[in-house]
Amino acid sequence: MRNNRFKKGECIYANPLATPDDLKDFISEGEVKTTFENGWLILENGLEAEATDDKGHWVLWCPTEMPDEIIIEWEFSPLREPGLCMIFFAATGKNGEDLFDPTLPKRTGLYPQYHSGEINALHLSYFRRKWEEERQFCTCNLRKSHGFHLVAMGADPIPTVRDAKTYQMQIVKHQDMVQFSINDLTVLEWQDPGTAYGPILGKGKIGFRQMAPMKGSYRNLTVHQAVLEREEK
């Protein structure tokens, strides 16, 4: 594993996620309820679904195509559990199509459509409290699709909702490298060999996902160029 360090370059995208206007071009798949409070975007399932009902889950996509070699940052605070929070990045069609190409099958928030459907993506689940076994030993999981490939795992430092505060989340996606940190604490790193699970992913879309009945708050989504500061082999 290479020990890479990155710094933020030019700002590519910035969205405070503070008002309805900030979401006017976002694309939802599944039923998502959005509200705003004190400059925060509050997200929860829009259906009155039971906690085990997969139809209550959803994805909310930022419409902007992001390049490779980026640093994604946002603030996050969990408000209600059980549930799960995830972010997709480098998401495209399996054959390089735009994620919203009309020839791709319709997606409705059901997870198999995203990990084993007609798209490629990296997906990081960073608050996993949906199932009892997840709550017993909390981890952050990085998967790569097409396919349900678990490629990296790290300990989750965020406590339960009762004790949680606000957390600064950061993902670095730079060619074959993925790094994830919370409040500047590195949680996981992964170098994609580009062989076992398909070619290395590059540009693509970013999307937030929650599993019902999770309720979470978000603000200040930014994407900067990732500038390689140091490389040690």
Encode pLDDT of 42-63 as tens digits.
Answer: 999 998 755 446 778 999 999 9
User: Average pLDDT of the chain?
Assistant: 94
Enter the tokens of residue 97: 């199509």
| Confidence class for position 35, pLDDT limits 50, 70, 90 | very high
What distance in Å separates the CA atoms of residue 230 and residue 82, rounded to the nearest whole number?
Answer: 40
- Cα separation of 177 and 232, whole Å? 13
Percent of the chain with pLDDT over 90: 88
Q: Residue 48: what pLDDT?
A: 72
- The predicted model scores a pTM of 0.95
Which strands form 58-66's sheet, in the order they lie side by side? Answer: 27-29, 58-66, 204-211, 84-93, 119-128, 139-145, 149-155
Give me the architecture of the 16-68+82-103+112-165+184-215 domain, per CATH.
Sandwich (2.60)
99-30-43 Cα angle (round to 5): 100
Residue 183 has pLDDT above 60, yes or no: yes
Q: How far apart are CA 155 and CA 13, in angstroms?
A: 29
